[in-house]
Amino acid sequence: MMITIYHNPRCLKSRETLKLLEARGLKPVIVDYLKTPPTPAELKSILKTLGLKPEALLRKSEPLYAELGLKDRKLDDDALIALMVENPILIERPIVVAGGKAAIGRPPEKILEIL
């Protein structure tokens, strides 16, 4: 089974999730999504697999979220996806995709549900 982790190496939860995968002998494809953001189509696919709307994947604690006034702005799904692709720091992390399923590693053990 191919496993992909959308990873931010500076994020504790992301590092913990990667360690959890590796401790189980799994070797995921690691995508440093800040350096290689998903395309709009990839992000739409991830959202569909997660069963989430784009707004649910936004990191509301990220300073850029406040700077852009996103709490008070009403953007449609396509605009939010474009915003996250342009500013991947706004994407919640880590995301693990495996076997047609996906989970956000918050807490890291949440990903065990899809393995």
pLDDT digits 0-9 by tens, 30-52: 999 999 999 999 999 999 999 99
Which of 1, 7, 11, 65 is flagged as catalytic?
11
Summary mean pLDDT of the chain: 96
Instruction: Say whether pLDDT at 105 is over 90.
Output: yes
Q: Residue 75 — very low, low, confident or very high, per pLDDT cuts 50/70/90?
A: very high
* Cα dihedral sign, 110-32-9-87: negative
In terms of pTM, does the model score above 0.85? yes
Q: Which CATH architecture has domain 3-114?
A: 3-Layer(aba) Sandwich (3.40)
- Asked about 11 being catalytic, the answer comes back as yes
Instruction: Say whether pLDDT at 1 is over 90.
Output: no
**Could you tell me if residue 57 is left (phi over 0), alpha (psi between -120 and 50 degrees) or otherwise beta?**
alpha
Q: How far is CA 4 from the centre of its chain?
A: 11
Strand arrangement, sheet containing 29-32: 29-32, 3-7, 95-98, 101-104
Task: Report the percentage of the chain scoring pLDDT > 70.
Answer: 100
